[in-house]
Every structure is written in structure tokens, then in C-alpha cells.
Chain A
Amino acid sequence: MSGARGLWRDALRRLRRNRAAVASLLLLALLVLLAVAGPSASRYPPDELDWAMMGVPPDPASGHWLGTDRLGRDLFVRTLHGARLSLAIALLATLVSLTIGVTWGAVAGYAGGRLDALMMRFVDVLYALPSIFFVIILTVVFDRSPALLFFAIGAIGWLTMARVVRGQAMSLMHRDFIEAAVAAGAGPARVIFRHLVPNLLGTVVVYATLMIPQMILIESFLSFLGIGIQEPLASLGNLVADGAAEMETAPWILLAPAGCLVTIVFCFNFIGDGLRDALDPRER
């Protein structure tokens, strides 16, 4: 186990030297903190209409730090609420993807042979399907609830993860410690979840970090089109859509959520790249 701890400690040291990744990590932490605690720092609730303050530009004096939208709702609070919901959906979707993908890939890699071929063929077939369109069908068929959204998005994201994990698992299967575990009488489930999966963690963490921004983008894409998160709930996607409709006269309604979305996506990408470099120094 001390070897594994050494790997993580080395990775942490390398990550700390990567300035873009560290800066992104700090910025993201700040954003998450704001998204969780920030709305209560403003004196405005996210869904209260203010008839006297409709579409006002950003103005610190009034307390509307990022202005208000057409219905007089405070944009600072709504953007943070949107960021919180978008992040939550992306995290849950990633978790769904991760669970399916890691299990699928590890089992295929462990089993090898015909079962492996069958499982990976299934993945190939799903790859050929335009999955986002099936999510759209699902949103048409079922109520457009946040729960459906993260599950549907998560259910289409696991394919790459399964491929990557399966490749890694196959190479691990030849290693001595697996053979030792099998010789010591460990069953399939024990080998997969106690021996294979912990050793795949590095790869999984990197891919998960890179998957979160993808999930945010898919969710916002659907919400932007009006088939994801619905009013009065706010997600970054439907806030951008609101802003796009008003941009001629009130560009801040677009810029606040768009800026927040782009910042979050950038941060995750830099962190993911930093983690990949830190955990897999061969790439450099």
C-alpha cells in the first residue's frame, strides 16, 4: 500500500507545480462556495419578481450586483442558483456514468474472452447511436425533471469510461498481485472491486474530472433549447437562453450566466489536464 500512497503523493506534488491547474482549483472552489453560500449573502430571493426593478443593469448600490432580468429577478442570485443546479446535475450524472462505466469496463477486462468481446461490441453499437437525440426523446416523453435529466445524461456518458477502464483492467490482469489474489482464493467480485478498481483510480479520477464539464455542457445545451431544466428553476443553460433573447437591450442578462458557465468549464478542463499530467508523467 505504501507504493500507492507514494504515487498519490508524487501526483499531488506535480499537480501543485502546475499553475493553471492550481489557479483553476482555487477559482472553482471559490465558485462552488459562492454557489452554495452566496445566494444567502444577497438580500434578494431567486424567484421574487421586483416590479420596480425590471431589467436594471449591474449596480452595487441597489444590491443587484449583476443587475436584474426582465422580470426583476436578481441575476447574481439566479446565476449562482443556476451554477449550483448545473453543477449538481453534472456531478450526479458523472457519478451515474462512473458507476456504470467502471463496473462494465472492469468486468469486461476481468472476464476477457467471449464475454469481454460481447460487452465491448455492445459498447461499440451504442457508440454509433446519436445518444443526445435519445436524451431529447426521453425529455419529450417524460416530465422534464432534474432527476430524469441527470440520469439520462449519465446513462449516455459511460461508454468512453468503460473502454478506458477495460483497457487498463486488461493490462492489470497480467500483474503478479492479481495472480496472488486469485491464488489466495479471492472470488471475481473481490478481485474486481478490491484489487482491480482501486488500482484504476488514477485513470478514473482524470476521466471523471474531464467528464464533468462535458456533462455541464450537455445539461446546459438541453436547458438552453428549453427541453432541460424549466422555469422557475434556474440552470446556466436556461439563463443563457433568457439572456440571448434580451441581449440587444440588456446584454448583462446574457453575460452573467455565460461568463459563469465558461469559467466553470475552463476550470474543470485545466484541472483535468493537470491531473492527467500529474498522474501519468509518461505523457509529458
Chain B
Amino acid sequence: MLRYILTRLLGAIPTLAVIVLLAFLLTRLAPGGPFDEEQALPPEIRANLERAYGLDQPLHVQFGRYAAGLLRGDFGPSFKFKDFSVTELIATGLPVSLQLGALAMLLAVLLGVPAGVAAALSHNRAADHLVMALAVLGIAVPVFVVAPLAALVFGIYLQWVPVAGWSPGNARDMVLPTVTLALPVIAYVARLMRGSMLETLRSPFVRAARARGVPRTRLVWRHALPAALTPVVSYLGPATAAVLTGSLVVETIFGLPGLGRYLVQGALNRDYTLVMGMVIVYATFMILLNLLVDVAYAFLDPRVRPGGRR
């Protein structure tokens, strides 16, 4: 098992390298530079600026410097937030985004799994249809529509929770962002869970357990659930991607000072180093979480483990 985790970790390194290289090359494709302002800068100032940021060097030297910096945890200076380095911006944004994303994923599993099981147990009855209708709604309506609507209804009309803002430690600030971010994932998890639960309940080992007289609750939660969870676990990889992209919208709408908002601001300001840094951080997260999911999957299902069952 340890060996499997190590090989997977080593395997993630080339993917990360490709991402860094791709991000770097894409930003250097730009026809304009980061110092293209409304008013053209005098050439000597421009040259000085480019020298200060190392942009006068050949491409491979620039990349070497950037990559070496990354290894030291230095993402370079932000072109537009002039008083901050990208590393500092990441350090301020990361805790907020981490908290938001982790809470949303947790909520998605805690609500999605029971909802799916409940739907499967009342197959083709009212509760099933209700859960599935809600799930279709949750999947089809994008976060950037749900978020403002939720802010309108719960923040402005009902005044239950603050519309926007962020103060560390205030749980009420997190309610709307977390729930809106989690909604599509809850919906998807519920739908997956229902399908695989229905299938598992029909499988021979569950029928055998039922024939042995195992009580229904125990049958569902102890016998069927672990087997039925595998598709949900393998969906957690794509779910991470959904939560990461969704967090761009949620952080922007609710004014959370997280990575997503910096990425969007960086994109609007054409702040290359900031965008590159944020993309690399997001990509690293996605790869690491996918790895985690694969490892969890190998724990749950011995068939995908190299070498099989011990």
C-alpha cells in the first residue's frame, strides 16, 4: 500500500511539471506585455521595468528562474498588486479557500449520501421522485445563478444570514457560500448514491444477508453501504474540480478574500504572475486530492490495488 502511494506521488511530479511549463509558456505567448497601459510608457522606463522583473532575459532563463523560485516557494512578484508578492497573496487566500472547499465537500458527502440512500430505499415512491427532481435542479442550475438568488432570498428578503463579507471565526458568514458551493455536488452525490445503492441492494451478497435474517437497518448501513460507496468515492475527484471552479464564483459573489477572488482579479488585471501562481496552486490541489481519492479507492476496493488483496 505504501509503495502504491509512493509511486502515485512520484507519478504526480511530471504532471505538475507539465502544468507549470504550460502555464508559463501560455503567458509568454501574449502579444502584449504586462506593462501595456492606456498611455505608453517611455521606452527607457519600460526597459527598466522589464529588467527589474527579468523579462529581458531569454525564455529558458526566465523559466529556469521561475521554476527555481517555485521550488523555494517563491511565486514571484505580482505585477499589479505592487506591494505584495504572489506568495503573500496565496498565503492570505489559501486558508479561506481551504476552509470553504473542505466545508463544502464535507457537506456534500454528509447530505448527499443519506439523501441518495433514502431515495433508493423508497424506490419509485414520492420521496425518491422528490430527491431526484431536486438533484436534477441542483445539477442543471449553475452556481453563478444559485449564488445571487440565494443571497437575494436568504440574505436580503429573509435576512437570515449576511449577504457578503468575511470576518475570521464568524460561522454565519460561511453559511451561504458553503451551501451554494456544495449544492451541485450534493445533487450529484445523491444521484450516484441512489443508483449504486439500488444496484447493490439487488446483488447476491445482500440478498444472502437478507435471507440470513440480517435486520434491514443493519443490512443497508453495514452490508450494502460500503460496497455502494465506491462510485461516490471515485466521483470525489471530479467533485474537487467542480468545487474549485465553483469557488471562483462563490468567492467573487460573496466577497470572500480567497484564492479564487485573487485569480479572477488577476485575470481581469492581466496580472500574469498572479494568475500563473493561482493556477499552479489550484492544479496542485486538484492533483493531490485526486491522488487521495485514488488511494481511498484502493482501500475500499482491493481489485484496483496493485498486487491485489494481501
Which chain A residues have a beta carbon within 8 Å of chain B's beta carbons?
125, 128-130, 132-134, 136-142, 213, 217, 220-221, 224-227, 237, 240-241, 243-244, 247-248, 251, 254, 258, 261-262, 265-266, 269
> By the criterion CB–CB under 8 Å, are A221 and B245 in contact?
yes
B interface bracket (residues with beta carbon within 8 Å of A): 35 or more
State which of A128, A133, A261 has its C-beta within 8 Å of the C-beta of B279: A133
Query: Please, how many angstroms separate the alpha-carbon atoms of A258 and B148 in the complex?
Result: 10
> By the criterion CB–CB under 8 Å, are A254 and B26 in contact?
no
Q: Which 4 A-B pairs have the closest CB atoms?
A: A244-B148, A141-B30, A133-B279, A224-B144
Say whether chain B's binding surface is mostly helix, strand, loop, or mixed: helix
When A220-B142, A221-B245 are in contact, do A226 and B286 touch as well, CB less than 8 Å? no
Query: Please, how many angstroms separate the alpha-carbon atoms of A225 and B263 in the complex?
Result: 10
Q: Is B141 an interface residue (CB 8 A)?
A: yes
CB neighbours (8 Å) of B266 from chain A are 140
A227 to chain B, nearest CB (A): 5
State which of A137, A237, A266 has its C-beta within 8 Å of the C-beta of B140: A266
When A137-B275, A140-B272, A244-B253 are in contact, do A262 and B145 touch as well, CB less than 8 Å? yes
Q: Is B62 an interface residue (CB 8 A)?
A: no
State which of A129, A130, A254, A269 has its C-beta within 8 Å of the C-beta of B152: A254
CB neighbours (8 Å) of A224 from chain B are 144, 249
State which of A141, A217, A220, A265 has its C-beta within 8 Å of the C-beta of B29: A141
Q: Is B252 an interface residue (CB 8 A)?
A: yes
* CB-defined A-B contacts under 8 Å, sample of 20: A125-B18, A128-B15, A129-B15, A130-B241, A130-B244, A130-B282, A132-B245, A133-B263, A134-B23, A136-B263, A136-B267, A137-B275, A137-B279, A213-B140, A221-B142, A221-B144, A237-B144, A248-B156, A262-B145, A265-B142
In the complex formed, the residue of B with least CB distance to A216 is B142
Query: Please, how many angstroms separate the alpha-carbon atoms of A262 and B29 in the complex?
Result: 36
A216 to chain B, nearest CB (A): 9
